[in-house]
Chain A
Amino acid sequence: MSGSRMNRDLLRRLSAALGAETVAWVEGDGTPSSLRVEAPDREGFHVAAAILLEKLAPWRPVGLAKAEPGRCAVSTVAFDGILDFWPRDLVARIGAGARLGDLQALLAEQGLRVPVTSLRPGEHTLGGLFASGERGWRGGPNHRLRESVLGLTVIDGGGRVLKGGGRVMKNVAGWDLVHLHHGAGGALGVITDLTIKLEARPQAASAFALPVGVEEVATLLDSTRLPAAAAEPVVQLWLDETAAARAGFEGGGLLVVAAEGWREAVDHWASALPQGAVAVDPAELLRRACEGAFWSGRLHLGPSAVLDVWPSWSRKWKLVEPSLVLDLQTGHARVLLHREAPLRNAALIELAKAGRAVGGRLYAETEEVAIAGDAAPPDGPSSSEDPAWAIARRLKVAFDPGNLLPPLPRPVGGWR
């Protein structure tokens, strides 16, 4: 069957099963058009997955992402409500299509929140955030969506409806169907709803920016972290000179710290900060710093090594206008390039090399930046070389027997 006939056939089947208003053609720019389904409920996803499986049609679960050519996008955006709410347990079951921004606004009315951050909360769905393993801009081990999801429902590539976890705070019954889908990029099924641990909003929160150069950041870091400090900040980011300038702070690097809790404690913490600290909205400041970058990647190195490698490299490659946002608590370093230049790849390869020399890695979102002479990275789940990929491949076969879903992303730290 030709591609377009298959699409027409699929459109007919999906429209008949789910209602014409839930299925649409998405015209590509010069690429073949593809289908987008916005299922209204769990049953809708189940039906859609069954039809796609029967027709052997490739598909991708999405939140807001557009359809790709040749792959039907099954979107959760129409399934975005709070489905259950247990106020005394501070737990809610939420449609995967809920946008983080909308959800936070709704919860704020009850004095609650999901302890997760995003620079573009209006543009991220809960399902998308979980599936892409995003960690948000707020550090600390417990402020990642992974740590707040107690349970989920997923419809896998084989059309099975699977419920993982539950709604209790601790649960070690069996293998973890919830975390199987964390960071899986939709390659094992569509998450339809997530059961999430909520928390009460803190009584007070403040954030400050302080001018701190690269030479001082290490020392200052030590002193804000020392047990004698009034509080462990909930945010501790360092922006290099370029990132700071883009955020509107000229004249050198910038430390952004935030604390929250009881008003007295937060005020006390703020009063102990060094002179020159300016109150800021960290999300807004970071948005400005990251805006308009044409390339963004992550340097996996740890704060001290990043601070060793970064200054000389960024001075040398000024022409691509590099900037750095470093989370001092997690070591998560975001590298941004703001100006396209022919030597961009050479610059990145040099950074990747400098990183590797001290045991780190540079990733362009999902793939490591390759250096000449590297063995080819395992070509995704088809490679059996690396034990992580071998496990990934077996999971893929079990949960997507028709191989209709997108390829699995790289396992975290899974090949070296």
Chain B
Amino acid sequence: MSSVEFRKDLFADERDDNLKEIGKPTIRQDILGHVTGRTPFYDDHQFDGLLHMRAVRSPHHHAQIRGIDTSAAERMPGVRRVLTAKDVPNNLNTLLSLINFGRDDEPLCAHDKVRFMGETVAWVIADTERQARDAVAAVRVDYNVLPHVLDVEEALQPNAPVVNEVYPNNTFDYNGKYDHQKLRFGDVNKAFAEADHIVEAEYQMSPIEQAPIETCGAIAAPETNDRFVCYTNTQALFFSLGTTSKLLDIASSRLHFIGGTAGGGFGGKVDSIVEPTAVLGAMLTGRPVRFAWDREEEMQVGAPRGGERWRIKDGVMNDGRIIAREFTGFFDSGAYVRLSSYAIVKCTGHIPGPYTIPNVASNIYCVVTNRTPATAMRGFGITAADFAIECHMDRVAETVGMNPIELRILNAYRDGDMKAHRRPAKNTALIECCQVAAGKAAWPISADAAAQSSKVGGGVGERGVIPASVTDEDGKIGDRRAGRSEGTSPSRRGTGKVAAGTRVEAKTEAHMQDPDMALEADRIGHRMGSASTAPPAPAPAATPAPPAPAPVAATPSHPQPTAPVPPAPQVQPSAPVPTPPPAAPEPYQPEQPFQRGLNRPGTSRFTSGFRRR
């Protein structure tokens, strides 16, 4: 029997073990449906006259589309309609545009060129799935094959093919300034010079497919009252609804999404592709339409956890203390950025892993290549870095001749220690995990290591403060392509300094791409701070305009949102501005409820529930 062992002896004083539900075994509420086969997955909803939709897909990694001939396919038996990009009302999106992160860079259906193998170039809707497949085979696409790039570091070379014109440097732009996300904490170069050993290594994680047993799919159908119902296995129902609303330029109030049951997801069902596609089919045929990936599509087109390459350099003392750690990371986002840009922000907040290291630097690149776009998967943004970090810990242990578990306990973070993202660590438990793991594996550790505790010794002296940090301006947007950037790893020549103790304000990621996207308190449902009366202060330290071609409508004329970025730590110490004392937030005021259709003229039709008429 497999069993779970609860170590209630640990942190017992921080926990109430006498709760009614938490900590007690319980039978899943959905399990009766599962064992009787009655759980309604999206495909278990039956419709009369269901039509089947299939995609025509690119056989090339990178090619210009010179022409699409659908005439033969249109004449095939059972075919109701053949669709191409021109049938998509608003054929450009980026997933995180709903939270105003990044630029629209991805069409639902390719029109000018294809950027990865398997990208959609057309769809066929037919009476049976086989008829749809036969017609897909009859669509003729005239391609002009272009050189492609499948390796992250090759994509950063000045002569690499430009994969996605929205990101002309093959990188996502961070903070409107750099072609990578920087983290600077202390002075790694000084510490490397003082270290007894330097341990350097490179780690590579290949893309990983989530491989749910149920592939991505959706069924959409016209409903009464001029709405469309969409049964889907999305993991992000309202995200998919908002995305569909935007791509199809349809009021979200006309979309009736039903989900909540997914045959496995693991992050692979957030990309909101099947939903807009099925709804588009239903809109254009007036019939129920099923759009479901087969297993080959799930593997080839379904976004995996992206590949990552990591280089780690540690400065280590003879006694095992790690005094500096430097990362150079490359996330392969594939042809479209989707969530990779955000994964890097999240990853940066995690660096240098669960260890207290006084000097840390990292450069992480979100690289656009001709691979299948990457997306979320469990431990999103963290897994590969952790794999690299833990492999590296073993290497360090070998170098200094130390028990690898004791090395981890020695360097482990403890409650109150300052993390590199400039927030103190809380509820740490690495030391206890190491002790229990050593016990389970009968791996001997010293009495001293066994006596350590996460709750003792943290935050003491230097451990609890933000050190003075050296900054640099390497890797400005466009420099690399112009041949002006030397390497990819954090700079050896600091040019600036942030005083000890400085927390730099969180900054908006990308410029607002559309004034519509401005976050407005009156559209959120309650007042936030002072935003509803005065426009928020612009982001600190106005940076010079990036040399790269301007993104779509990057007009900085409208007010910057206060913090529309994902709730991950934003570390940007390279712009050393004194922090203004945070304005005291006004209390939460629920008595000002969200009003339907309140939108100002000209505000987004997409980000709120109701469309301006």
Tell me whether A and B are bound partners: no
Query: Interface on B for A, CB 8 Å cutoff?
Result: none
